[in-house]
Amino acid sequence: MAISSEEMQHLHQRRTSSYEVRLRTLFDTIQDLIWLKSPDGVYMACNQTFERLFGATEAAIVGKTDYDFVDRELADFFREQDRLVSATGGPRVNEEWMTFVDGGNRIFVEIIKTPMIDASGELIGVLSVARDITERKRAEAQLQLAAGVFDHAREGIIITDAQGTIVDINEAFTRITGYSREDAVGQNPRLRRSGRQTKAFYEAMWNALTVQGHWSGEIWNRRKNGEVYAELLTISSVRDAQGKTQQYVALFSDISAIKKHQIQLEHIAHFDALTNLPNRLLLADRLQQAMAQAHRRGQQVAVAYLDLDGFKNVNDHHGHDVGDQLLINLATAMKETLREGDTLARLGGDEFVAVLIDRDGIESCLPMLTRLLDAAAAPVLLGEVVLHCSASLGVTFYPQANDIEADQLLRQADQAMYQAKLAGKNRYAVFDAESDHSVRGHYASLERIRQALAADEFVLYYQPKVNMRTREFIGVEALIRWAHPQQGLLAPAHFLPLIENHKLSIDVGEWVIRQALQQLADWQRVGTLIPVSVNIGAMQLQQADFFERLQAALKRFSTFQPYSLQLEILETSALEDLEQVTHFIKQCGELGVGFALDDFGTGYSSLTYLKQLPISTVKIDQSFVRDMLLDRDNRSILDGILWIMRQLNRSVVAEGVETLEHGRALMDLGCETAQGCGIACPMPVDELPAWLRRWQVDADWIEVSLVPRTAV
Ligand code: C2E
Ligand code: MG
Ligand code: MG
């Protein structure tokens, strides 16, 4: 079928018009900005994207130049650009910010300008295509920033793929670990493992990474040179939109310096600075562990409490530096006698505790205890001087029939140590749980007694002394009591023995004197004068400045009346340094302070000494008084003592008068002054007036007093 020329033309027209339409559609659909200018800078066409961003229609733009839209300077610049393109004849690519007047859009564009040349080679215009690359630029800048952080971070950074293979590390990684990029990339971070963490540790770490997507903690890793160091490490998993892990990023810092400092601090907290032995805190820990282990293994733990004998002497005579050096030497020597697993701790001063594990009764410990004592008793050569100490040791065992705590064990061992001291020092004593039963619970530590003193828990009770014949009230003996907040009122037997050889006994003794003087002053204020006798411990009496201290105490009470204070001392403590004590007694006598010899008959009872001591009063020990009713022999001994006292011109006070019977029997022997529960038990000060009223009318004692005086 032939097509007419008319039809042909129509077809051509349609094709052409639809071709142009398509071209125009294409032109407008392109997301790039396209515009066309004539060689002399007049806009010839632009697409819709340009219109949109420019904020004007094509019709409003075409026929105008840049001078119509932007300031002169910029228009000159555009003009120059176009000219350059025209001159070189080839396309030019530029990147620049484009700011549109309308809407204030500011976008970063990449512009390609191409000269348009027609078939005859004539320049007919400049075509510009600009692409918005703002987003890409922004992303690049961010990447650059990240890369900067990555490179300059002080923290080491590792990036691994999802399988854990290292894909990148930063400079800090190399600085900290010593591994270069070549060493690390392609490896697994495992290469840094120190072997110090358990399998369970890594399992927990991976578990946290999988569940929470991150993990953070301290970890020991190894540097390339083999050195193990501590790291603070944070690992995060980088996941895609579906939650699938793409990468792991680990950030770590070297905290070995902090760790080292921390370890030092811990050492200071747990070790004694002088001897470097575990201190009380660490001992408590080790003892707990040893006790738990003994349970598991069915073995025993032995706890040995050591106190050096004569250490104070070394300090006093050679100074603290020598004393310290001696402690260091002895600590080392004693420690060497122990086995691995055993602990030797220093509690402070000259007190040590050894915890011996895997024991089986005292026999299994004996060789070791003996070695410990030998080590403490070995002479130590320090410079020119040879020093000699020894130790008293108390030992106790765990487990016991009753449940027992660690601190009770220590107290038991301490108590046994005290027994060893009493028995003559440089020996050991085993704690006897049986005999302890009655005192358990009342037993108190030195420290607790010190606290009691500070917290004012001690009180003085007063026991009257009377003349049974005249029924005269002649004074009181002050007796210390401990008003223990939990255990109630404790008699001195429960705490004084503990501090007997300790400086603390002096503090307690001085408190008693002050308290008694205060009481005297209080009575004085209300016009009463009741002489008080106070017991003086051995150590207190042996202080070189005992007299000066007493004098100072008296000075603080201006109302002090001579002869209202008497000091009771024991034969044993008086005899330790007879000359010195005699001197004190004389000095005190000048201040109006009298002395009595307490518990007479229980010590050496050497009458020669007694004769020498310028003491006015002797107190007959209660054991004589108690026993004299039992048989005639005791009675004759007492009779003899009383006779001698009269010859020596000493007054006598009988202690422990528990009944009227005692009173009568004593009176028969010519002893009239007495003290005891039969008359009055020790009492708080405010009960004294009521007792005195009763005493004055007590019919029974009135009857006793009526017994005719025996010829003496
Ligand atoms: P002591 O000086 O011989 O005191 C007499 C003790 O006999 C007191 O015991 C007293 O309570 C007790 N007693 C009183 N009447 C009777 C009685 O009829 N029968 C019996 N069986 N005992 C009676 P306490 O108070 O327990 O004191 C015991 C020892 O503790 C005292 O013996 C004394 O040596 C010492 N003591 C007490 N207070 C102090 C003090 O403040 N400092 C010092 N260093 N020692 C003290
Ligand atoms: Mg006494
Ligand atoms: Mg006594």
DSSP state of 668: H
In angstroms, rounded to a whole number, what is the distance separating the alpha carbons of residues 397 and 402? 12
439, pLDDT greater than 70: no
**324-328, 378-382, 489-493: least confident range:** 489-493
Average pLDDT over residues 590-610: 78
Reply yes or no on whether the pLDDT at 440 is more than 70: no
Whether residue 443 is predicted with pLDDT greater than 70 in this model: the reply is: no
What percent of the chain is predicted at pLDDT more than 90?
51
Chosen CATH of 153-260 out of 3.40.50.300, 3.30.70.1400, 3.40.50.720, 3.30.450.20: 3.30.450.20
Please determine, for residue 604, whether its predicted confidence score (pLDDT) is greater than 80: no
Cis peptide before 562 (omega within 30 of 0): no
Task: Mark out the alpha helices in 423-476 (DSSP H runs).
Answer: 433-436, 446-454
d(CA 601, CA 184): 90
Which among 449, 453, 479, 673 is the best mutation to test ligand 1's pocket, defined by most ligand atoms within 8 Å of the CB?
479
Enumerate the CATH 3.30.450.20 domain ranges in the chain, comma separated.
18-134, 153-260
If one looks up domain 444-704 in CATH, what number appears?
Answer: 3.20.20.450
**pLDDT, mean of residues 349-359:** 93
Closest C-alpha residue for ligand 1 atom 43:
535
Q: What is the pTM of this model?
A: 0.47
List all residues whose CB is within 6 A of at least one atom of ligand 1. 463, 479-480, 491-493, 496, 509, 512, 535-537, 568, 598-599, 622, 655-658, 676-678, 682
Domain with CATH 3.30.70.270 in the chain: 271-442
Span 457-485, average pLDDT? 96
Q: Is the model's pLDDT at 259 over the cut of 70? A: yes
Give residue 10 CA to ligand 3 midpoint distance, Å.
148
Ligand 1 atom with the shortest distance to the CA of 537 = 44
Cα–Cα dist 505/490, whole Å: 16
Taking the centre of ligand 1 as the mean of its atom positions, its distance from the CA of residue 149, in whole angstroms, is: 82
DSSP string, 271-289: B-TTT--B-HHHHHHHHHH
Q: Strand 228-239 to strand 351-359: parallel, antiparallel, or no bridges (unpaired)? A: unpaired
How would you label 342-361 residue by residue, b for 16+ Cβ within 10 Å and e otherwise? bbbbbbebbbbbbbbbbbee
Q: Which CATH superfamily is domain 271-442 in?
A: Reverse transcriptase/Diguanylate cyclase domain (3.30.70.270)
Nearest ligand to the C-alpha of residue 656?
A: 1
Atom of ligand 1 nearest to the CA of 463: 14
Confidence of residue 38 (pLDDT cuts 50, 70, 90): very high
Q: How many CB atoms lie within 10 A of CB 426?
A: 18
pLDDT of 11: 67
580-596 pLDDT, tens digit each: 889 999 999 999 999 99
CATH 3.20.20.450 domain span(s) along the chain: 444-704
Compare 317 and 2 and report the one with higher pLDDT. Answer: 317
Q: To the nearest whole number, what is the mean pLDDT of the chain?
A: 88
Closest CA to 577 of 618, 617, 544: 544
Q: 18-134: which CATH number, 3.30.450.20, 3.40.1260.20, 3.40.50.2300, 1.10.101.10? A: 3.30.450.20
